[in-house]
Structure 1
Amino acid sequence: MKVRKFRDLTFIEINEEQLLVIACDSSGAIGSKENDIVKVSPDILGYFTTNVALYEILSVGAEPLTIVNTLTVEMNDTGNKIIEGIKKAIEPLSASKDIIITGSTEENFPVCQTGMGITVIGIINTNNWTMPMTKKGAIALVVGLPKLGQEVIADNGKEIFSLKILLELKKYSFIQEILPVGSKGILFELKEMARTNDLDLCIFSDIKVDLYKSAGPATCAIVSIEEEYFDILKDKCPIPINKVAKFY
Structure 2
Amino acid sequence: MRNAIDIGNGFIVTTDNSGGIGEKLQDIVNVPDRVTAYFAARVALFEQWATHAEPVSILVHNFSGSTSWENYVIGVTDLFHEAGLEVPPINGSSETNMELVQSAMAVTIIGKKMEAPAPKNSVWFTYGTPLVGDEVRTRVDEIASVRLIHEAMKSGIVHQIWPVGSSGILQEVRLLTGIKEARVETALDSMKSAGPSTVVLLAIPEMKIEEAKALFGVHLNKLMMIT
Question: How high is the TM-score relative to the length of structure 1?
Answer: 0.82
Partner secondary structure for residue 212 of structure 1:
coil
Q: CA deviation at 1:235?
A: 1.7
How far, CA to CA, are the matches of 1:93 and 1:123 in structure 2? 17
Q: CA deviation at 1:229?
A: 3.9
Is 1:8 aligned to residue 3 of structure 2? yes
Give the alignment partner of residue 103 of structure 2, picking from 103, 109, 114.
Answer: 114
Is 1:203 aligned to residue 187 of structure 2? no
Question: Unpaired runs of 5+ in structure 1?
Answer: 1-5
How far, CA to CA, are the matches of 1:208 and 1:86 in structure 2? 32
How far, CA to CA, are the matches of 2:2 and 2:135 in structure 1? 27
How far, CA to CA, are the matches of 1:168 and 1:234 in structure 2? 14
Contact 1:160–1:219 under 8 Å retained in 2: yes
Q: CA deviation at 1:62?
A: 1.4
Contact 2:157–2:209 under 8 Å retained in 1: no
How far, CA to CA, are the matches of 1:65 and 1:186 in structure 2? 29
Q: CA deviation at 1:110?
A: 2.1
Partner secondary structure for residue 170 of structure 1:
helix
Q: Structure 1 pair 27/203, CA: closer, same or farther in 2 (3 Å)?
A: same
Question: Unpaired runs of 5+ in structure 2?
Answer: none
Q: Counterparts of 1:77-96 in structure 2 under 5 Å?
A: 78-96=68-86
The RMSD of aligned alpha carbons is: 2.5
Number of residue-to-residue matches in the alignment: 227
- 2:42 maps to which residue? 51
Bigger radius of gyration among the two = 1
Q: Counterparts of 1:77-226 in structure 2 under 5 Å?
A: 78-97=68-87, 99-125=88-114, 129-130=115-116, 138-156=122-140, 158-173=141-156, 175-195=158-178, 201=182, 203-204=184-185, 207-226=186-205
- Larger helix fraction of residues: 2
Q: CA deviation at 1:244?
A: 2.0
- 2:21 maps to which residue? 30
